[in-house]
Structure 1
């Protein structure tokens, strides 16, 4: 199975997979409006790949065959300030009155 992978300029790390190049008929209009103008990243032969980075290959294939598309969201960004505060033994968020 071959699929097309598209990126958006609106959100880094967000990708839209469709079963054929420029085949967006099954993608909901609201999603396409939020995604913006899709930019082709690559054509991806799924049968020749063991791993697909962070995407579960079987979930991708299932979504492509059942829904007609798969949306890969970017990983949740870690809040470095909160992580640093926790490492110092502080609460994750500053209490404006006491902690500043």
Structure 2
């Protein structure tokens, strides 16, 4: 299965995977408005063996088959680790 990946110009680290190149008809209008302009980044073959950095390939394939698109959002920020202050007695 081929996927066509587009980067949002408005939302940092947000990507839309499409089943058909340049066919945004499956993406809801409200989502398109939120993402702003999209620029083509990559064409990729999504095989079961393929690994993606921030997405589960099976979930991407399922979304493309069912909806025609997959939205990849940035990972949630990691809370800083609080280090207890050392008290000098």
User: More strand per residue: 1 or 2?
Assistant: 2
Deviations 1:47-91 (A, max 9, x none): 2852111211110010001011100010112244xx3xx2125xx
Bigger CA radius of gyration: 1
Distance of aligned partners of 1:49 and 1:9 in 2 relative to their CA distance in 1, 3 Å threshold: farther
What is the root-mean-square deviation of aligned Cα atoms in Å?
A: 1.6
Q: Which runs of 4+ in 1 moved over 6 A?
A: none
Q: 1:39, 1:24 → 2: CA distance?
A: 12
User: More helix per residue: 1 or 2?
Assistant: 1
TM-score of the aligned structures, taking structure 2 as reference length: 0.85
Q: How many residues of Structure 1 are paired with residues of Structure 2 in the alignment?
A: 85
Report what 1:88 is aligned to. 84
Unaligned runs of 5+ in 1: 90-100
Unaligned runs of 5+ in 2: none
Residue 8 (structure 2) pairs with residue 12 (structure 1): no
Distance of aligned partners of 1:44 and 1:13 in 2 relative to their CA distance in 1, 3 Å threshold: same
